[in-house]
Amino acid sequence: MLLPYALLLILSFTSVWNHLIGPPFSFGQMYAFVAGMLAFLYGATIVQKLKSPRLWLAVALLGFALTRPIIGWSSYWTIWLETIFGATIVALLAFGPFPPSSASAFRAARFLGKISFSFYLLSPIALLPQHHGISESLTSAISAGAHPLLVCAGLFVCAVALTALLAWLQFNFIERPGIIFGRTISVGLSTPAAPIPTPPRAGLDNPHESLVECRPVHSGRNT
């Protein structure tokens, strides 16, 4: 796992790799997927050995917030450090002693977790308005007296809301049927009579149930 991470990280510092498919998309941040996988695979083991997980979380949050202003807004090192801090924050929140403040917060976190891959795939939609003259409109609004932070906050809320809605639709009508179809094939090849577990719908399941689980189905026969 570390080898592909190191390879993708090295490639991210080359302009040819970053612009291989043209803007606004980029291969440069693909190593972030591996960082997330490492956090999932080894996060629990590492976090359980930490003596002060809350202190580490505070350091990671501070580092994530200050990386871009200190190192630069478009540096390759900035993106890499943000990935490290981001994966650390996720691992600490997932495996550390940080229970959700309420059932609503827990459901919201589960919902965003389930649609996260669709959210990532659809996030470039938020970049489309910049190709249709929105930059000029925003410049005019700020010149007319609108506060830049309010404009940015409004754009953030609208972009997240739209992308989350589209991601929810994609999860329930594309990803979820694909998961069921894939399980049908895998179970059919091994044990045709075994029941096929159905993944829960995003936002509609019991918050106290586990996430979609992929467990092998055994027929009871010894091989």
| Percent of the chain at pLDDT exceeding 70 | 79
pLDDT 10s digits, 153-182:
888 898 899 999 999 999 999 999 998 998
Is the pLDDT score of 151 beyond 80?
Answer: yes
| CB half-sphere exposure, 114, CA atoms < 13 A | 28
pLDDT in tens, 112-149: 888 988 998 888 877 777 666 777 888 888 888 888 88
Going by the DSSP 8-state scheme, the letter that residue 131 receives in this structure is G
Task: Tell me the pTM.
Answer: 0.61
The angle subtended at Cα 30 by Cα 29 and Cα 35, nearest 5°, is 95
For residue 209, the model assigns a pLDDT of 45
Amino acid identity, position 115? I
The per-residue DSSP string of 197-218 comes to: PPPPPTTTS-TTS---------
